[in-house]
Structure 1
Amino acid sequence: MRSRAWTTPIVVIAAAGLTACGGDDAPPAPPQAAASGEAEPGPFFDECGAVTDDEVARAFAVPGFTTVTRNSVGCEWEVAGTSGPSVTFSWYRGSPIGRERAGSELIGRAASDIEIAGQPGFVASAGNYLCELGVAFGGDFVHWSIMYGESAPTADPCDVARELAETSISRAER
């Protein structure tokens, strides 16, 4: 009785030999990193984009955050109520900004190109009640979302997003 241990390597070697001897003169495939579009990581952003609660409150012009959430991926400042005003900062490492932009456009918020501190990004809004802004850094990006919800806006949400983005980007550790 023949052992299976001998047939598997022979089949693998034969298959490799057939592939190597093929008449295809196509160039070899590029390395995986180049094919996937990987880029160098961007700068380091401290907790909440290095922006203080007071700076967020001042830019947002809504006093009295009832909840401030801080975790490993970002921060959220909220005013009471499920549809109340909020500000969100998120930092995405190794994630394409294009996916975030496409998501905004998919739900009806046309995105426009922007540049902050020499870095490319996008801004998308829904009237005076919501604005999101993302800025790319190589293979990373930061994202600010300003939502007034059912409350009357006290400032232009895109102005707030830009001010907070400029602040956090100026404080990033390069």
Structure 2
Amino acid sequence: MATRIDSWIWSIRLTKTRSAAGAACRAGHVQLNGVTAKAAAPVSVGDRVTVRLGGRERIVEVTRLISKRVSAPAAAECFIDHSPPPPPREVLASLPRRDRGAGRPTKRERRQLDQFRSGAMLVLAATALLLAGCSSNGGGDEAGATETPKAGSGPQFARCGGLTVDDVVSMSGMPGLKLAIDNTSTCEWRADAQRNGSVSFNWYRGSPIGRERGTEQLSRDSTQDYEVDGQPGFIAHTEGICETAIAWDADFIEISLASPSSPATGPTINQDQLCGAAKRITEKVVKGAS
């Protein structure tokens, strides 16, 4: 019997409750083999599951299917953990936290938060300039001040990156794709409910690309530099999956292609063709932005 992904990530204790697992899937924070997963998506042994929760990304490989909550030692036998190390405790302790039950911030609180962030950015910039000046005055190698990446500096993208169903079908070489997910940050085209062939567009704001690249380096066979119109990024692939990402300061887009697969022969699109399609789609999105 198939095991749903929301049930599995709850069973192995990645989320505290089953409802939290379903909410993570609905928010687009769960990926199955590099593709955004719905709560009902079935998982199989050998699949890679990525879950972003609480400011941390967990990457696990399925080794055993379960659908009931088990103890931590038993859960550890159901997956191989490929997650990057968590941030140091000092960093976590420094993050501001809102009191439980306080509700959403008011307009006044949001203005105060914006002012705090602006002040913190000025302090960071001043510190960087001071350190650079000290380094130059000390007679060592001169170092310029490092600018803090800014969120929201990227271009404006049309819905789904400006991609249509005809675009993704013709450029990916995957007939039968249909738009299955369509929101302000994610669009995904699938050939069927089991994602046997898919293309996705993701737009991340305020999330530096370096963290995403580190994750891909841990989970893909190859990760290389890649750019479009002078904007830096990377391309990563493993058998049957190819992903590209292009950055603007602390914003970036990600295009992910998963080849249709046959139980007998595996992916039906070879890796070079798949990554070539990923590049064509990425270039169309970047060049079509305003």
User: What TM-score range do you get, normalising by the shorter chain?
Assistant: 0.7 to 0.9
**1:113 CA displacement:** 0.3
* 1:100 alignment counterpart: 212
**1:113/1:77 CA distance change after superposition, 3 Å:** same
- 1:153 corresponds, among 269, 272, 289, to 269
Cα deviation per residue 1:60-100 (whole Å; 9 max; x = unaligned)?
Answer: 11111245310111200001142401000001111111111
CA–CA distance in structure 2, aligned partners of residues 74 and 30 of structure 1: 29
Structure 1 residue 170 corresponds to structure 2 residue 281: no
Q: Choose 1 or 2 for highest CA Rg.
A: 1
* Structure 1 partner of 2:104: none
Unaligned runs of 5+ in 2: 1-119, 129-146, 263-267
Match of 2:168 in 1: 56
Point out where structure 1 has 5 or more consecutive residues left out of the alignment: 1-28
The aligned amino acid for 1:118 is G
Q: What does the per-residue CA deviation read over 1:90-122, in whole Å, with 9 as the maximum and x for residues that have no partner?
A: 011111111111111111433100111111110
Change over 3 Å in CA distance of 1:54–1:171 after alignment to 2: same
2:277 aligned counterpart, secondary structure: helix
Equivalent-residue separation in structure 2 for 1:165 and 1:43 (angstroms): 14
Structure-1-length-normalised TM-score: 0.74
| Aligned counterpart, 1:5 | none
Deviation at 1:51, TM superposition (A): 1.2
CA gap of 1:30–1:49, structure 2 versus 1, over 3 A, is closer
Provide the secondary structure at the position in 1 that maps to 2:261.
coil
1:134 aligns with 2:245: yes
Cα displacement (A) at 1:52: 1.1
CA distance in 1, matches of 2:173, 2:181: 19
Query: Does the CA-based 8 Å contact 1:85-1:149 persist in structure 2?
Result: yes
2: CA distance, partners of 1:145 / 1:30: 33
> Aligned equivalents of 1:88 and 1:53: distance in 2?
11
- The Cα offsets for residues 25-84 of structure 1, whole Å up to 9 and x where unpaired, read as xxxx98355479232611111111111110100011111124531011120000114240
The total of aligned residue pairs comes to 144
Q: What is the RMSD computed on CA atoms of the aligned residues? A: 2.3
Native 8 Å contact 1:67 1:79 kept in 2: no
Q: Which moved more, 1:58-67 or 1:44-53?
A: 58-67
| Structure 2 Cα separation of the partners of residues 30 and 50 of structure 1 | 33
